[in-house]
């Protein structure tokens, strides 16, 4: 590879998976761009009422 590596990562999609990837990488010393199509992150999980097994709200 001719170009130098860049210490930043782009995560495309701000649902629970994208949020987890972004958090892990930011905590591990990388700069993260989290790209989300809608006006806020959270994805489908934020639409769920309660989740197994704890039946706590998924907020």
Partner 1 sequence: MNIELLTLAEVENISGSEGNFKVTVRQKPRIIDMEKCIACNLCAEKCPKKVPDEYNEGLVPRKSAYIKYGQTVPLKYAIEKETCIFFVKGGNKGQKGKGKCRACEKYCPAEAIDLDQDFQDEVKDINVGSIILTPGFKSFDPSSFDTYQYSNFKDVVTGLEYERLLSSNGPCMGHLVRPSDGKEPKKIAWLQCVGSRNINKCDNGYCSSVCCMYAIKQAIVTAEHTTGDVEQTIFYMDIRTHGKDFDNYFGLAKALGIKFVNTRVHSTTPGPNGGVEVEYFNEETGQRVVEEFDMLVLSTGLEVSKSVQELAGKLNIKLDKYKFAESSSFSPSATNVPGIFASGCFQAPKDIPQSVTDASAAAASASIALSTQRGTLAKERTFPPEKDVTGEEPRVGVFVCSCGINIAGTIDVKALSEYAQSLPNVVFVDNNLFSCSQDTQVMIKEKIAEHNMNRVVVAACTPRTHEPLFRETMKDAGLNEYLFEMANIRNQNSWVHSKEPEKAFEKAKDQLRMAVVKASMLSPLEHLSVNVNQSALVVGGGVSGMIAALGLADQGYETILLEKTDRLGGNAWSLATTWRGEEIKPFLEDLISKVENNPNIKLYKNARLKTSKGAVGDFVSEVEIEGEKRAIKYGIAVICTGGQELKPNEYLYGEDERVFTHFEFDKELLEHKPALEKAKGAVFIQCVGSREPDRPYCSRVCCTHTMHSALELKKTNPQMPVYVLYRDVRTYGAREDLYREAREKGVIFIRYRWKSKPTVVKDGEDLVVTVKDHVLNRDLEIRTSYLVLASAILPADNKDLVDLYKCGLNNDGFLQEAHAKLRPVDLSVDGMFLAGLCHYPKPIDEAIAQAQAAVSRATTILSKAVMPLDSIKSYVTDNCDGCAICVDTCPYGAISLTGYELDGVEHKKIDTNNALCKGCGICEATCPKHGVYVHGFTNEQLKAQIYAALENV
- Chain residues binding partner 1 by CB under 8 A are 1, 3-55, 57, 59
Taking the complex as a whole, the smallest distance from the CB of residue 56 to partner 1 amounts, in Å, to 9
Contacts of 43 (CB under 8 A, 6+ apart): 13, 14, 15, 16, 17, 18
What's the rounded Cα separation, in Å, for the pair 46 and 56?
12
């Amino acid at each position: 590879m001719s170009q130098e590596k860049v210490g930043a990562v782009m995560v495309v999609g701000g649902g629970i998976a994208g949020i987890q990837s972004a958090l892990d990488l930011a905590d591990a010393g990388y700069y993260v761009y989290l790209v989300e199509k809608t006006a806020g992150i959270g994805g489908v999980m934020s639409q769920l009422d309660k989740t197994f097994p704890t039946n706590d709200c998924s907020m």
